[in-house]
Amino acid sequence: MIGPDGSVHLDAMGLTCPLPVLRLQKALRGLPRGTQITLHATDPMTEIDVPHFLHESGHQLIAAKRIADAGPQGLPVFEFIISSAG
């Protein structure tokens, strides 16, 4: 979903590896350089997979945090703020 400021929100909650990263990869395709994407996921593997994917593909991880008990059934939510490499 693209916000009014041009930022993108990607909801990958409930998806398991490798789907959060695959959806992120698809969302990043063709975006202008510097476009901000916020990814929310519940899969704990995203803490490893997302930073690794971003490093390998040249995109920038601006921030990452774990939000305890914020997901469905009290699962933690992993939030990543990403800047597109273009």
Q: Phi-psi bin for 74: left (phi > 0), alpha (psi -120 to 50), beta? A: left
Choice among 15, 17, 19, 85 that is catalytic: 17
CA distance 12 to 31: 19
CA distance 10 to 12: 6
82 belongs to the catalytic site: no
Just list the catalytic residues. 17
